[in-house]
Amino acid sequence: MKNYFKIVSLLLIVMVLSCTNNKEKKYHGVIEKIKDLEKDSIEYTIKSTDFFDTEQFVLVETKETSFYITNRKAKIKKFKCSECHSKSISELKMTNLKGQKAHSDINLKHASLKELNCNSCHPTQNLDNLKSNLDAPVDFNQSYKVCAQCHSTQYKDWLGGAHGKRVKGWVNPRISHTCVDCHNPHNPKFEVRYPARFNSKYSEQRK
């Protein structure tokens, strides 16, 4: 009888020890794991500043978030606009330019012309800036503010990170594309085209 107790107690000890030897903590789901292991401030050894110099980018700061976006002015071929547009649009219209048309490549397809025209975003004077609905000047590097006036849900998603795209990498600090990097402001809809790949083996296998 004594031996029996000894064996049973030994077995129990072995069982308990083998149970506590679990290496990885068990969670009910990945969300529980995330909540348990999350860190408020993580210092990565790799930073996106390793790929880029943040001085080339523009800082976006709101109450909730702050991140960098691409520099729009650096991308416009002929900036400043005032280098050509020394006169205001109304003055230009007065002079006879004999059929010369600037910006003839721009075919405005953004809402209907009844709702939006050139003057909705570009002021008639001081063309080096954009303008808000209330005629306040908006810097070209902050063009997202002009878009956000109508597209408020997209703007909110973009600030959070659900809409839009990173320039490179997933590490901090965040460097994202601005609206006009992906959407042509004069024709914002994505094109209809053929897919980039067709798998000839799939079609063979499924005959």
Partner 1 sequence: MSKEDNKVKDASQMTWHQITTEKSDRRDAIKKLTAGLIAGVGLASTSCSVFSDDQEKEISQLTWDEFFKKNYKIMSDEERIQTVQRLEALYEKKTGNTINMSHQGPIEDVLFGYAFNISKCQGYMDCVNACIEENNQDRNSEMQYIRIHQIEKGHGFNFEKADDNYTNQVPAENHFYIGTQCFHCENPPCVNVCPTEATWKEKDGIVVVDYDWCIGCRYCLASCPYDGRRFNWSQPHVPEDEVNKNQHYLGNRMRKKGVMEKCTFCIQRSRNGNNPACVEACPTGARKFGNLLDPKSEIRWILENKKVFRLKEDLGTEPKFWYYMD
Q: Which residues bind partner 1 (CB under 8 A)?
A: 27, 29-30, 33-34, 37-40, 42, 44-48, 50-51, 65, 153-154, 157, 160-166, 168-172, 174, 177, 182, 190, 192-203, 206
By the 10 Å C-beta count (0-12 exposed, 13-18 middle, 19+ buried), 132 is classed as middle
**Maximum distance among all Cα pairs of the chain, rounded to whole angstroms:** 117
Between 3 and 199, CB nearer to partner 1 = 199
| Closest distance of CB 15 from partner 1, Å | 23
Rounded Cα distance between 179 and 185, Å, is 8
Q: Note whether 80 and 72 are within 8 A (CB).
A: no
Between 26 and 103, CB nearer to partner 1 = 26
| Closest distance of CB 28 from partner 1, Å | 9
| Closest distance of CB 8 from partner 1, Å | 32
What end-to-end distance do the CA atoms of the chain give, in Å? Answer: 73
| Closest distance of CB 193 from partner 1, Å | 6
Would you tell me how many other CB atoms lie within 10 Å of the CB of residue 155? 19
Between 151 and 186, CB nearer to partner 1 = 151
